[in-house]
């Protein structure tokens, strides 16, 4: 969860997460994960309070990532989806996909 909070902090400060994710190191010594080192150019290391303010947004993002992974798993491969369209028609595939989306709805 800490990494997702940091991602939100970076984005809120006009930084690109993928460009910056190698500029900090997280560590867990058994009492929780923390920022061991921070070298993001032009941005100070966030305080615990700053990171906590991103808790809700980070939770939503992580939950939605789980939803997306579950959907992809049930959709099957592209080849399986094409086979289903050929065998059952496009409308049947659209109905199946919508049922999966309804089963795993995003926040």
What CATH number does residue 36 fall under? 3.30.56
Q: Please check whether residue 58 lies inside any domain of the structure.
A: no
pTM of the predicted protein model = 0.76
- Residues 47 and 39: their CA atoms lie apart, in Å, by 14
> Taking Cα atoms as reference points, which of 63, 40, 56 lies closest to residue 5?
56
Q: Give 3's strand partners.
A: none
Q: At residue 74, does pLDDT exceed 90?
A: yes
Residue 45 shares a structural domain with residue 5: yes
Residue 49 shares a structural domain with residue 73: no
Number of domains present in the structure of the chain: 2
Q: What is the pLDDT of residues 27-36, one digit of tens each?
A: 999 999 999 9
Tokens coding 11: 């984005």
């Amino acid at each position: 969860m800490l990494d997702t909070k940091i991602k939100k902090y970076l984005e809120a400060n006009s930084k690109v997460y993928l460009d910056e994710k190698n500029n900090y190191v997280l560590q867990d010594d058994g009492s929780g994960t923390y920022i061991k080192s921070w070298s993001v150019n032009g941005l100070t290391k966030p305080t615990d309070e700053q990171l906590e303010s991103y808790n809700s947004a980070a939770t939503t993002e992580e939950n939605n990532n789980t939803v997306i992974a579950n959907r992809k798993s049930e959709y099957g491969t592209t080849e399986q989806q094409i086979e289903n369209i050929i065998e059952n028609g496009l409308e049947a595939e659209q109905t199946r996909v919508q049922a999966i989306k309804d089963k795993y709805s995003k926040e």
